[in-house]
Every structure is written in structure tokens, then in C-alpha cells.
């Protein structure tokens, strides 16, 4: 039998995502009630600009006092879609203290203070759900922490930022330069006026921290994630990638060490073989590739941002949290029992593509090969082109640590036959 008294929901933020959450709650009210076992009611909406017209939301629900809204005591679930660290953090903890569970899409806050927020939720016997914080509409958080809870996850690698994937895909498919592709992304609304958070990898790094923590049952903070942006990627890099049968993606990579004793989390551009499933992810779409012991290889794909896709993930969490409320239970919380150390980037082992500007004369290749050998970095392939006393030398290594590669590059710069290092890029997905 369905409960007739509605569960009350407070909405913090009514922008692109929040307005879609409110719309879906209204237009799908009967279906949501049937799935939950009780109707849900939008009890208040906290905004910064109350004068703005918000279609479908009664004016008497609008407030600028978010703190008073979450303190009401009759609120069952708070949906936080305002983003940022404060006041979101204070509002969420206040909601827990006053009897409400929380659904959030706040990747930055969860990457920085997820452990503390989970502790607050547990102390107050409430839920903290955040499917929408990573990869928009793609079901990812729940599969990692519930569906694969009985498995051992070894690696999570994915495209988790649609803006950067659009830019790189445009560079790959049209030969456009970075700035030209960024300008198009901005004109189409994929990139913000200030695209720094996207193109410099901050957004993806926050998501990597969340994914690594869940996948490896270890607390991973944003500061633990190595981050490298994509603004230095050039059309020449794409040309080199194509010669290797690869393309270039900005990847978030979280992996367990071979001995199982540590984990790493990193975000950077990388060449990836065209045969890899992630290579075919086009436009502003996201995809995450998961490798585990029992399930093997899995890929999750779909729209990673936007009002409706993100609202879909928020509503899925809202339904789950409301069901828990009715049953008197709570869902899975923080799982950090493994407490594995997070290794520095210097320990990461992968392949590298290095492009050098060198003098076009005999003996250069032998000098360069000697430097690689001295640092214990094995060479897989070499390509050399020269004209009029200048040449380019492209070296692809076997797997090597980041620290050993950095040492190699520093030594190469000391050779009088090496004019400069044009680019260094990791090769992943093999």
C-alpha cells in the first residue's frame, strides 16, 4: 500500500540542473510515487536571485535562506546542486543534523571532503548519494560501489569531461588547432567563458579522486591526483598519433599497483590505440572503462553533462534515498577499509611517445639511444626525418616509470645534438 503523506524535498540551486530536477519531479510525479511507495513534494527551493522567473515553480517555494530551509526539520531529502565548497559543505552537514538525507552533484566538494561528509551522514543515520557528481547520466557510482562490491577492481580509465573530449575530437577529425577547436566549443556552449577547470584537468581530477576512492576502498583526495592539462596538445601530436594507429584523449586513470599494495590516480592527455573502445567516444560524450578480476572489462558510456542527463542521475538517487527512508534503512556509505597508500606520479609505469628536435648528422641516434639505456628505459620504435641540417626524432618506449622517463628527458636536454623536446605524451590502453 502506498503511503499518502508525501516525502518532502528541499532543492538547493535552481540553475540548469536544478530546474530540470524540479521539472521532472512535477511532470513524472505519479510514476515517481509508484516507484518510491510514497509521493514526493518539492517543499522549498533555495536560490541566489529570487526575482528570476522559474517556470513551473510556485513563487512561495522560492527562498534565499538556504540554511533556514535545511533546518526546517520536516525535510526528508535535500538535493544540493549549487556546487563549490561553501556554502554547500555547511548546508549539507546542517541537513544531516536536522534529519535529512542528501543527494548531491558536487564533485569538487566530494573530492575534497568526501570522508568527512560520509562520517557526518553515518553519525546522523542518513544517506549521502552522489551519482550525478561523475559522468552525468551514466550509471557509474552505484555499479562501482554496489554491483561490483563483490569483485576486485584493478583499473578505472575514462573520458569524464565532455568539453575536453569535444575539443580533442574536433582536432582529430578536422585537423584544427587547439585554440580553433576551443573557440568552436565555446561558441556551441560546450566550454565555459573561462574553460580552465575543464582544459587544465581540474574537473576530471575531482572525478578521478571520487572514482579511485570507491573502486579501491581507499580515501583518495583531490590533492592525491596527478593533473596535467591539454592546452599544449598540438595538431602535430595528432599526426604522430595517427602514424601509430592512435588518437589522443584526456583520460582519468585510477589503478591498483601490480602488487596490490598501493593505488594511483592521474589525469592527463594520452595516446590511445584506435582499437580501444574509448578511442571511438566522440563529441561531448563520456565513457569509463573498468577492469576487474571477475567481471573482466566493462564500459559505461553516455552523455556526461547537461541539465537533463545530470538531473536523471539526481532523480535516480532521490528515488533510492526515498525508498531507504520509507524502509528505515540507509544505503552504502564510505568504504575505506583497505587504506591503501596513494603512490606519487613518479612511480607510475606506462609507455611514452617523445618527439625531439635534433641535429641532422651521423651519431645522433646512437647518442639518444645511449641516454635512454643509461636510465633503464627500453626503446620500442624510433622514427627519424631530416632536412637541411635539422631533424625530428620520434621515440616510443616500452613501459617505464615516470621518474625514469623524466630523468631521461633531462639528460637528453644536455646533449648538444638535441635542439629541444617538442612533446612528451603517454601511451595508454594497451
Q: What residues are annotated to the active site?
A: 207
Is there a contact between 142 and 115 (Cβ–Cβ < 8 Å)?
A: no
Give the phi and the psi of residue 281 in degrees, each rounded to 5: -80, 115
Burial class (CB in 10 A: 0-12, 13-18, 19+), 167: buried
To 10 degrees, what angle do helices 29-36 and 307-327 make? 40
Core vs surface per residue 366-387: b (16+ CB within 10 A) or e: eebeebbeebebeeeeeeeeee
Pairing, β 246-256 against β 226-227 = unpaired
Is there a contact between 247 and 277 (Cβ–Cβ < 8 Å)?
A: no
Core vs surface per residue 179-197: b (16+ CB within 10 A) or e: eebbebbeeeebbeeebeb
Transcribe 298-336 into DSSP letters. Answer: EEEEEE-SSHHHHHHHHHHHHHHHHHHHHHT--------
Q: Of 313, 257, 304, 247, nearest to 280 (Cα)?
A: 247
Q: How many CB atoms lie within 10 A of CB 297?
A: 10
Q: Of 304, 333, 334, nearest to 220 (Cα)?
A: 334
Q: How many CB atoms lie within 10 A of CB 155?
A: 16
Which helix (H) or strand (E) covers residue 374, if one does? Answer: helix 364-374
Q: Of 9, 32, 17, nearest to 310 (Cα)?
A: 17
Is there a contact between 400 and 376 (Cβ–Cβ < 8 Å)?
A: yes
d(CA 164, CA 381): 29
Amino acid at each position: 500500500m502506498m503511503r499518502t503523506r508525501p516525502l518532502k524535498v528541499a532543492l538547493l540551486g535552481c540553475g540548469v540542473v536544478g530546474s530540470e530536477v524540479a521539472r521532472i519531479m512535477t511532470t513524472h510525479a505519479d510514476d515517481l510515487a509508484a516507484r518510491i511507495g510514497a509521493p514526493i513534494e518539492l517543499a522549498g527551493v533555495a536560490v541566489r536571485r529570487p526575482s528570476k522567473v522559474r517556470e513551473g515553480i510556485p513563487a512561495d517555494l522560492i527562498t534565499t535562506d538556504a540554511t533556514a530551509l535545511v533546518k526546517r526539520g520536516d525535510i526528508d531529502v535535500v538535493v544540493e546542486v549549487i556546487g563549490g565548497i561553501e556554502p554547500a559543505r555547511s548546508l549539507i552537514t546542517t541537513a544531516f543534523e536536522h534529519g535529512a538525507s542528501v543527494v548531491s552533484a558536487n564533485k569538487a566538494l566530494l573530492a575534497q571532503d568526501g570522508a568527512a561528509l560520509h562520517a557526518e551522514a553515518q553519525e546522523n543515520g542518513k544517506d549521502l548519494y552522489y551519482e550525478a557528481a561523475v559522468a552525468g547520466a551514466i550509471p557509474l557510482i552505484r555499479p562501482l560501489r554496489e554491483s561490483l562490491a563483490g569483485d576486485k577492481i584493478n583499473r578505472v580509465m575514462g573520458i569524464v569531461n565532455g568539453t575536453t573530449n569535444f575539443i580533442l575530437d574536433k582536432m582529430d577529425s578536422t585537423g584544427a588547432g587547439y585554440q580553433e577547436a576551443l573557440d568552436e566549443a565555446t561558441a556551441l556552449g560546450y566550454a565555459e567563458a573561462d574553460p580552465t577547470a575543464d582544459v587544465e584537468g581540474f574537473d576530471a581530477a575531482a572525478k578521478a579522486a571520487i572514482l579511485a576512492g570507491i573502486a579501491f576502498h581507499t580515501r583518495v583526495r583531490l590533492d592525491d591526483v596527478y593533473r596535467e592539462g591539454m592546452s599544449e596538445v598540438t595538431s602535430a601530436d595528432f599526426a604522430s598519433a595517427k602514424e601509430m594507429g592512435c588518437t589522443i584523449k584526456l583520460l582519468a586513470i585510477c589503478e591498483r599497483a601490480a602488487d596490490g599494495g598501493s593505488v594511483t590516480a592521474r589525469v592527463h592527455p594520452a595516446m590511445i590505440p584506435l582499437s580501444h573502445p574509448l578511442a571511438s567516444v566522440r563529441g561531448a560524450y563520456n565513457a569509463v572503462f573498468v577492469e576487474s578480476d571477475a567481471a573482466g572489462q566493462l564500459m559505461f558510456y553516455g552523455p556526461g553533462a547537461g541539465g537533463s542527463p545530470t538531473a536523471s542521475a539526481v532523480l535516480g538517487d532521490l528515488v533510492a534515498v526515498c525508498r531507504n527512508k520509507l524502509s528505515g534503512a540507509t544505503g552504502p556509505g564510505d568504504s575505506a577499509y583497505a587504506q591503501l597508500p596513494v603512490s606519487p606520479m613518479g612511480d607510475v609505469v606506462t609507455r611514452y611517445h617523445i618527439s625531439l628536435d635534433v641535429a641532422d648528422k651521423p651519431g645522433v641516434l646512437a647518442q639518444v639511444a645511449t641516454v635512454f639505456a643509461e636510465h633503464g628505459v627500453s626503446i620500442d620504435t624510433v622514427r627519424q626525418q631530416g632536412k637541411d641540417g635539422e631533424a625530428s626524432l620520434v621515440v616510443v618506449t616500452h613501459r617505464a616509470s615516470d621518474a625514469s622517463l623524466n630523468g631521461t628527458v633531462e639528460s637528453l636536454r644536455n646533449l648538444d645534438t638535441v635542439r629541444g623536446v617538442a612533446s612528451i605524451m603517454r601511451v595508454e590502453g594497451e
